Amino acid sequence: MDKTVSNLPAAVAAIPDGATVMIGGFGGSGAPIELIHALIDRFVATGHPKDLTVVNNNAGNGHIGLAALIEQGMVRKLICSFPRSADPVVFTEMYLAGKIELELVPQGTLAERIRAGGAGIPAFYTPTAYGTDLAKGKKIEEFDGRPYVQERWLKADFALVKAHAGDTHGNLTYNKAARNFNPLMCSAAAVTIVQVSELVAPGAIDPEHVITPGIFVQSVVHVPNPQQEETLNRANAVYSGAVQP
Amino acid sequence: MDKTVSNLPAAVAAIPDGATVMIGGFGGSGAPIELIHALIDRFVATGHPKDLTVVNNNAGNGHIGLAALIEQGMVRKLICSFPRSADPVVFTEMYLAGKIELELVPQGTLAERIRAGGAGIPAFYTPTAYGTDLAKGKKIEEFDGRPYVQERWLKADFALVKAHAGDTHGNLTYNKAARNFNPLMCSAAAVTIVQVSELVAPGAIDPEHVITPGIFVQSVVHVPNPQQEETLNRANAVYSGAVQP
Amino acid sequence: MTQKLSNAQIAWRAAQDIADGAYVNLGIGFPEMVAQYQPAGRQAIFHTENGILDFGESPAKGSEDWDLINAGKKAVTLNPGAAFFHHADSFAMVRGGHLDVAILGAYQVAQNGDLANWSTGPKGVPAVGGAMDLVHGAKRVAVITDHVTKDGKPKLLESCTLPLTGVGCVTRIYTSLAVIDIQDSRFVLIEKLPSLSLADLQAVTGAELLVKAPFADLIVPEL
Amino acid sequence: MTQKLSNAQIAWRAAQDIADGAYVNLGIGFPEMVAQYQPAGRQAIFHTENGILDFGESPAKGSEDWDLINAGKKAVTLNPGAAFFHHADSFAMVRGGHLDVAILGAYQVAQNGDLANWSTGPKGVPAVGGAMDLVHGAKRVAVITDHVTKDGKPKLLESCTLPLTGVGCVTRIYTSLAVIDIQDSRFVLIEKLPSLSLADLQAVTGAELLVKAPFADLIVPEL
C-alpha cells in the first residue's frame, strides 16, 4: 500500500465543481498553503473547481492561501467560526458585496460537528449558543433540567490537510499548534489529501506518537519546507496562480 | 502544582459508598490493579466503600482486580459491554444470583458515552443498537432518512486509571493497547486517580506525545512495576485484601 | 450429508474478497481465521476495537506482551505502520464508515440483512462487546458461518428469531455451502458447492434463494 | 469624571482571584493582560482554544514560531508540562467543565448573567470564535470591562440589547469601578473604588446593585 501522490497538481486533480472541501489550519498554523495554491493553479488554467463550499476556522488573511482561493471566486460558501484576521479584506469585501455565503458556527461546535462527521454521529447536543442568534431554528432539548441545542455532523467530499511527518500508509504527526482542526478533518472527508513536510517509511513514526492513523487518509504528497501564511503575509505576498506555460 | 499522592491508600481514601467509579482497562491491559487492590484493602479494613457503580468494558477475570472487587461485594451495579472472560466465574455467579445489577452497553456506545461525559455533550445519536433489545425505551430520531438511537453521556465521581509515564501535572502516556478506555475515563470523572509506572518531571514528556493532558487528572500515584492481570491469572492468583496490622 | 467446507475453507473464501490495502475488522473467534488466508501480494490492514491498527501475527509463546492484545484478548504483534489510539477514536473508525470490511460470525442472518450473533436468549450472562457497532459503519459487513446450526436447522432465515445485533446490515454471507449476497432484502446466490444441487441448498436455507445471474462454483483448496 | 481603574488595573484585580494551579482561559485581547499579574507564588495553567495547555510568555521578537500561537494568533512559548491536542479535545476541556476560570471581555452584561460580547449588530462581518463555547463549561465565567461604554452608557444592564453570547453564564464582573457578582439573577456589590459613592456607582449601572453584605474597597496598585 502506498498512498503517496507524486506532485501537488495530481493531488488536487479530482476535486470537482460544487465540492465541499475542509481546509485545515487555525489562521496560518497548519494551513496547507501549497495544496490550496495547487487548487488555484488548476482553476486559473481550467476554470475548475468552482462553487466550492469551504470549511475552515477562518476566512483567510491577506492575498495568499484561503484568502486567495476566495479572491479567485472559487468559493460559493464558507463555513467558519471567525472570518476576521489581521487583513481580512478579501472575504470582507466579497461578503459585504453578497458574493459569498457565510455559515457562522461557534468554534467548539464547528470542531465537534466535524468530529461527529468522522465518528458516525449524525447529531449531538451542546450547551453552546443556546439562547443566541446562532441557535435560531435549531432543535432544543432539555437534559437534567438544562436546555441544549441539537447540532448536526459536518462531512466533506475532500479535506486538504497539512501534517508534519507522514508515512506511505497515511499515518501522520503535526507540528505543535498546527494540529488544530487537521486531525478532525482527516476523519470527516471522503477523500483526505495531506501535504507532509517529511515523508517517511511505515514504522518510522512510533505507533504511540501517531496522531492521525492512516485509515483516515487517502493521499499523501511530499511538500518539504512548506510556506507559512504568517511569513508570507508579513512579506505582503499575493498569490494569483502559477504562470501557465 | 504537584498532583502526586504519596501512596495507594491515600490515593483511594476519598471514594465514598455509592460512588460511580470508572475503571480503565480492556480485559487486563490498562487495568489499574494496584489501585483496585488498595480499594479492596480499605473495604476489608473499614467496610467502605460499598454499593459502588463500576464502569468498565468487562466484568473481571479470575479472582484479582475488578473480579476481586466484585467478589468482595463492593459493587452494586456494573456498566460494561462484555462481562465474559477466560474465567468470569465471580461476576457470573453474582449476576445469576441477583446480587449485582448489569447495564449492558455496546462497546462503541460505551466509549462514546464516556467521551461525551468528558466533553460536555449530554446526548448524541448513534446507529448502534437500533432495532435491538439494547435500544429498547430509548429515543429514536431520523437523520437523512436513517434511524438513530439517542444515547446519554456517562460521568463518574471517580476514575481509576493506569498510565505508563505521568508527570506531576498529570500529563500522561500509556503503554500500547493499554490506552483503550483510560484517556476517556480521565475526562469523564470529577476526580481522576492515576497510577503511573514512571513518575517524571513536567517537561519530561514531549508536549507532542502527551495523550492525556493534566487538566483531566487530579491525583497521580507512582506504582513502579505494576502487576498485569493476565500474568496474575495465569498464576491463579487470588486477592482478598492485604493482611491488616 | 453432503460435503461442506471446513471453517478454514470458509475463512479462505472470505479472504479472497479482501482487496490489497483494505481496512478490515475480524470478529472475535472464527472470523480471526480470515487473516491467515490473505492471497499472495495482498496486505490488508487489520483493526482491533481496543485501539490498534495494523497489528500482525501472534507472537511466539512465552514472548507475549499483555499490553499488546486484540479484542479477543489474544497477544498480537505490530506491523510497520501500526498505530495506537483510544476507544473513542477506535469506534469513530468503526461507526464513521472508515473500515472497508467487517467480517463477523452469526447465529442467524435474515434475508433483509438482519444479523443475530450476540445472544441466544434471556438465559445466562448477556455480553455484546463491539458487535452492534461493527455492523454499522463498515462499508461491507460480511458474515462467515456454517450454513446450518449444529442440529441441522437453517441459519439463513426469512427473519431472525434470536435477539438482533443489527438491522439490515449484512451484505454478504460466506457459508459452508455457498456464497450469498443480500440484495433488496433477498438472498441472492453467488456461488455454491458444485457437489450440491440448488434444490438441496434451498432445502437447508430458511428463505428463498434468488438466482439473478448465473452463479459460480464455490471452489476452495484443501487446507 | 471620577477616578477609574486602567485596563491593567482591572486585569490585576481579576488575577488576584485565580488560585495556584487553576486552569484558565483568557479571551482574545484585553483579557490576555490578566496573565501578566499573577500573584507571586501562584502559577495558573493557561489554555488556548487552538490546542495548547500551559503556554507561556511571548517569545522575543524575531524568534516567533508561527506554529506556536494562541487563539489570538499571537506567538507564544511553552512551559514545562505543556501539551498539544486537536480542536475537539480542546473544546472538550472547555465544554466539559474542566476549566476553572474563563475571563472574557464584554459589550454588555445583564443582571441575570447574560453576556453580549460577539456582535454589535447586523452590520459588517459577524465572527464568534470560541466565545459561545467558553461561556459554558468553565466553572467560573468572569468578565473584565470598563464600567461604561466609550460614550458613558452603562454596560451592566437589566437585560442585554445586543446579540447574546450566552444566557445566564457570567458569575463575576471586574469593572473599572467595582467588582460585582451575579447571584440569583441580581448584581451584588463586592468591592467598589473608595473614591466613589454607592449612589454614583449606581448611577452608571443599568440595573439595581444589591448590597447583601458589607462591601470592600477596591484597592489596586499603580501599574
Select from C76, C133, C139, C165 the residue whose CB has the most chain B CBs within 10 Å, as the one to mutate to test that interface. C133
Nearest CA-CA distance, residue A167 and chain C, Å: 8
* Axis-axis angle for helices D87-95, B107-119 (nearest 10): 60
CA distances from B211 to A207, A222, B182 (A): 12, 27, 10
**How long a stretch of residues is chain D?**
223
| Domain boundaries defined on chain D | 7-59+66-217
> Which amino acid would we find at residue B212?
T
Mean residue pLDDT of chain D comes to: 96
In this predicted structure, what is the pLDDT of residue C115?
Answer: 98
Beta-carbon contacts of residue D60 (< 8 Å; ≥ 6 apart) = none
Report residue C50 as a C-alpha cell: 481496543
CA distances from A48 to A16, A18, A72, A245 (A): 7, 10, 11, 17
Q: Residue B111: its chain C contacts at CB < 8 A?
A: 86-88, 90-91
On the question of pLDDT at C198 being above 50, the answer is yes
Flag if A141 and B123 touch (Cβ within 8 Å): yes
Distance from C-alpha of D53 to C-alpha of D79, rounded to nearest angstrom: 9
CATH fold of D7-59+66-217, please?
Answer: Glutaconate Coenzyme A-transferase (3.40.1080)
Report residue B76 as a C-alpha cell: 452494586
**Cα nearest neighbour of B3 on chain D:** D21
Distance from C-alpha of C159 to C-alpha of C187, rounded to nearest angstrom: 12
In this predicted structure, what is the pLDDT of residue D2?
Answer: 52
Q: Please provide the distance, in angstroms rounded to a whole number, between the alpha carbons at the two ends of chain A.
A: 34
Interchain CB contact of C166 with A (< 8 Å): no
Flag if C127 and B81 touch (Cβ within 8 Å): yes
- Please name the residue that has the C-alpha cell 481496512: C23
Q: Is A46 exposed, middle or buried (0-12, 13-18, 19+ CB in 10 A)?
A: exposed
Distance from C-alpha of B10 to C-alpha of D27, rounded to nearest angstrom: 38
Report residue C131 as a C-alpha cell: 458487535
In this predicted structure, what is the pLDDT of residue D122?
Answer: 83
Q: Residue B119: its chain D contacts at CB < 8 A?
A: 88, 91-92, 95-96
On the question of pLDDT at C86 being above 60, the answer is yes
Distance from C-alpha of B166 to C-alpha of B162, rounded to nearest angstrom: 10
Mean of pLDDT values over A198-215: 98
Distance from C-alpha of A218 to C-alpha of A161, rounded to nearest angstrom: 11
Distance of CA C100 to the CA centre of its chain: 13
Query: Which of B95, B106, B127 lies at the smallest CB-CB distance from C128?
Result: B106
State whether residue D60 is helix, strand or coil.
coil
Reduced 3-state DSSP string for chain C? CCCCCCHHHHHHHHHCCCCCCCEEEECCCHHHHHHHHCCCCCCCEEEECCCEEEECCCCCCCCCCCCCECCCCCECCEEEEEEECCHHHHHHHHHCCCCCEEEECCCEEECCCCEECCCCCCCCCCCCCCHHHHCCCCCEEEEEECCECCCCCECEECCCCCCCCECCCCCEEEECCEEEEEECCEEEEEEECCCCCHHHHHHCCECCEECCCCCEECCCCCC
Q: Quickly list H helices, chain B.
A: 8-11, 33-46, 65-71, 89-96, 107-119, 182-188, 229-234
Q: Please provide the distance, in angstroms rounded to a whole number, between the alpha carbons at the two ends of chain D.
A: 21
CA angle C133, C135, C140 (to 5 degrees): 130
CB atoms within 10 A of CB C15: 22
CB distance A160 to A188 below 8 Å: no
pLDDT one-digit tens code per residue, C141-172: 999 999 999 999 999 999 999 999 999 999 99
Distance from C-alpha of B10 to C-alpha of B8, rounded to nearest angstrom: 5
Flag if A81 and D127 touch (Cβ within 8 Å): yes
Query: Which of B123, B173, B207 lies at the smallest CB-CB distance from A125?
Result: B123
Q: How many CB pairs below 8 A link A and D?
A: 145
Q: How many CB pairs below 8 A link A and B?
A: 52
- Residues of C with a known catalytic role: 49
Nearest CA-CA distance, residue A135 and chain C, Å: 26
Distance from C-alpha of A144 to C-alpha of B178, rounded to nearest angstrom: 34
Beta-carbon contacts of residue D150 (< 8 Å; ≥ 6 apart) = none
Flag if A131 and D164 touch (Cβ within 8 Å): yes
Flag if A102 and D163 touch (Cβ within 8 Å): no
Flag if B146 and A173 touch (Cβ within 8 Å): no
CB distance C173 to C112 below 8 Å: no
Closest CA to D208 of D187, D184, D223, D222: D187
**C124 pLDDT tier (thresholds 50, 70, 90):** confident
**C3 pLDDT tier (thresholds 50, 70, 90):** confident
Flag if C133 and B109 touch (Cβ within 8 Å): yes
Q: How many CB pairs below 8 A link A and C?
A: 67
CA distances from C152 to A76, B8, C197, C204, D120 (A): 61, 56, 17, 8, 74
C188 or B244, higher pLDDT: C188
Distance from C-alpha of A241 to C-alpha of A9, rounded to nearest angstrom: 12
Q: Residue A154: its chain B contacts at CB < 8 A?
A: none
Interchain CB contact of C163 with B (< 8 Å): yes
Distance from C-alpha of B222 to C-alpha of B225, rounded to nearest angstrom: 10
Flag if A208 and B143 touch (Cβ within 8 Å): no
Helices then strands (H, E): number in chain B? Answer: 7, 11
CB distance A53 to A19 below 8 Å: yes
Q: Residue D97: its chain B contacts at CB < 8 A?
A: 120
Interchain CB contact of A104 with D (< 8 Å): yes
Strands of the sheet containing A101-104, edge to edge, are A4-5, A219-222, A189-200, A156-167, A20-23, A52-55, A75-80, A101-104
Interchain CB contact of C51 with A (< 8 Å): no
Query: Which of D20, D78, D95 lies at the smallest CB-CB distance from B120?
Result: D95
In this predicted structure, what is the pLDDT of residue C16?
Answer: 98
CB distance A83 to A59 below 8 Å: yes
Interchain CB contact of A212 with D (< 8 Å): no
Flag if D84 and B202 touch (Cβ within 8 Å): no
Nearest CA-CA distance, residue B216 and chain D, Å: 7
- Please name the residue that has the C-alpha cell 515523508: A199
Beta-carbon contacts of residue B12 (< 8 Å; ≥ 6 apart) = B35, B38, B39, B42, B160, B193
Distance from C-alpha of B15 to C-alpha of B32, rounded to nearest angstrom: 15
Distance from C-alpha of D149 to C-alpha of B209, rounded to nearest angstrom: 46
Q: Residue B125: its chain A contacts at CB < 8 A?
A: 121-124
What residue ranges of chain B have pLDDT lower than 70?
Answer: 243-245
Distance from C-alpha of A245 to C-alpha of A45, rounded to nearest angstrom: 10
Report residue D190 as a C-alpha cell: 463586592
Select from C18, C38, C54 the residue whose CB has the most chain A CBs within 10 Å, as the one to mutate to test that interface. C54
pLDDT one-digit tens code per residue, B189-206: 999 999 999 999 999 999
Mean of pLDDT values over D78-99: 98
% of chain D beyond a pLDDT of 90: 95
Interchain CB contact of B187 with C (< 8 Å): no
Select from A64, A81, A85, A126 the residue whose CB has the most chain D CBs within 10 Å, as the one to mutate to test that interface. A81
Distance from C-alpha of A102 to C-alpha of C115, rounded to nearest angstrom: 44
In this predicted structure, what is the pLDDT of residue C1?
Answer: 42
Interchain CB contact of A208 with B (< 8 Å): yes
Flag if B104 and C68 touch (Cβ within 8 Å): no
Flag if A81 and D91 touch (Cβ within 8 Å): no
**Cα nearest neighbour of D115 on chain A:** A132
**D137 pLDDT tier (thresholds 50, 70, 90):** confident
Beta-carbon contacts of residue A114 (< 8 Å; ≥ 6 apart) = A22, A55, A153, A154, A181, A184, A185, A187, A188, D88
Distance from C-alpha of A38 to C-alpha of A58, rounded to nearest angstrom: 20
> Which amino acid would we find at residue D89?
D
Interchain CB contact of B133 with A (< 8 Å): no
Q: Residue A187: its chain C contacts at CB < 8 A?
A: 92, 96, 98
pLDDT one-digit tens code per residue, A81-139: 999 989 999 999 999 999 999 999 999 999 999 999 999 999 999 999 999 999 999 99
Distance from C-alpha of A160 to C-alpha of A24, rounded to nearest angstrom: 6
- Residues of D with a known catalytic role: 49
- Please name the residue that has the C-alpha cell 432543535: A139
On the question of pLDDT at A212 being above 80, the answer is yes
Q: Residue B185: its chain C contacts at CB < 8 A?
A: none
Distance from C-alpha of A7 to C-alpha of C177, rounded to nearest angstrom: 48
DSSP string spanning B104-153?
E--HHHHHHHHHHHHHT--EEEESTTTTSGGGTT--EEEETTEEEEEEE-
Which domains does chain A possess? 8-168+188-203+211-234 (3.40.1080.10)
> Which amino acid would we find at residue D32?
E
Interchain CB contact of D101 with B (< 8 Å): no
Report residue A38 as a C-alpha cell: 495547487
Nearest CA-CA distance, residue D223 and chain B, Å: 28
* Axis-axis angle for helices B107-119, C87-95 (nearest 10): 120
What is the 8-class DSSP label of residue A178?
Answer: G
Distance from C-alpha of D215 to C-alpha of D178, rounded to nearest angstrom: 10
Helices then strands (H, E): number in chain D? Answer: 4, 14
What backbone torsions phi and psi does residue A183 show, to the nearest 5 degrees? -65, -35
Flag if A215 and C97 touch (Cβ within 8 Å): no
% of chain A beyond a pLDDT of 70: 99
**Cα nearest neighbour of A178 on chain D:** D67
Mean residue pLDDT of chain C comes to: 96
> Which amino acid would we find at residue B80?
C
Nearest CA-CA distance, residue A210 and chain C, Å: 6
Interchain CB contact of C24 with A (< 8 Å): no
**Cα nearest neighbour of B144 on chain A:** A122
Report residue C200 as a C-alpha cell: 438441496
Interchain CB contact of A126 with B (< 8 Å): yes
